[in-house]
Amino acid sequence: MRVRSEVRQRQIVEVARKIVASKGTEELTISEIAKGVGISEGDIYRHFRSKKEILLLLIDDIERTLFEAIEKAASETQDPLERLRNVLLAHLSYVEQKRGVSFIVIAETLRQSDRDLRRRMLQVIEAYLSRLKELLRSGVAAGKVREVDLDSAALLFFGMIQATVTMWALGNRNSALTKQHTPLWNTYLELIAARTAKGQ
């Protein structure tokens, strides 16, 4: 029985994600993917012309699933600070569940000189930072966030997660990444919260 193209593509992306999580991008080969899906290498080439196309689809998948997770987290409250806190927890939880694939793919994109991969990953990160700035801006408007440079505050939020994930991955993922949520949030809150918000 022939599997529909979009279903097969989803299977290929899921196997690619598992390979990256367990073995790194070096092992992300057409041969390994074909083996994982249970089809021939020729079948893979019917859907993708190269490893680069698979990586691009993997980036698309990261964008879709990560943004779904953070939007769901942000929608659970109207309080701007709580929304930011929820997004931090959702992002850490997402990385933990996906075994750090998003940051592995970022590292691989930096390592390669391919302009398309770099441009696509940059688009995802810029969209993420833009969403953070919206949340921070709403916090400023509500008097909960100090008048801070929004670009810097968003970068700091993202960088805080990236550094935490790097240490977690280098430590062989021995502890729950989400345990870092409270100390990270408390430190970030000290930097951005308006005086009135701190006293609440």
Contact 180, 92 (CB under 8 A): yes
Is residue 69 located within the same domain as residue 146? Answer: yes
Which letter does DSSP use for residue 83 in this model? H
- Report pTM: 0.86
Convert the pLDDT of each residue in 92-132 to its tens digit: 999 999 888 888 888 878 887 889 999 999 999 999 999 99
Range of the domain at 67: 56-198
Residues 107 and 92: their CA atoms lie apart, in Å, by: 17
Domain stops at, among 18, 33, 49: 49
Is residue 193 located within the same domain as residue 152? Answer: yes
Q: Work out the percent of the chain whose per-residue pLDDT is above 90.
A: 58
Which CATH number does the domain housing residue 94 bear?
1.10.357.10
State the average pLDDT for the chain. 90
Is residue 73 located within the same domain as residue 167? Answer: yes
Type of residue numbered 124 = V
Is residue 38 located within the same domain as residue 136? Answer: no
Convert the pLDDT of each residue in 24-36 to its tens digit: 778 888 899 999 9
Is residue 2 located within the same domain as residue 78? Answer: no
Is residue 157 located within the same domain as residue 67? Answer: yes
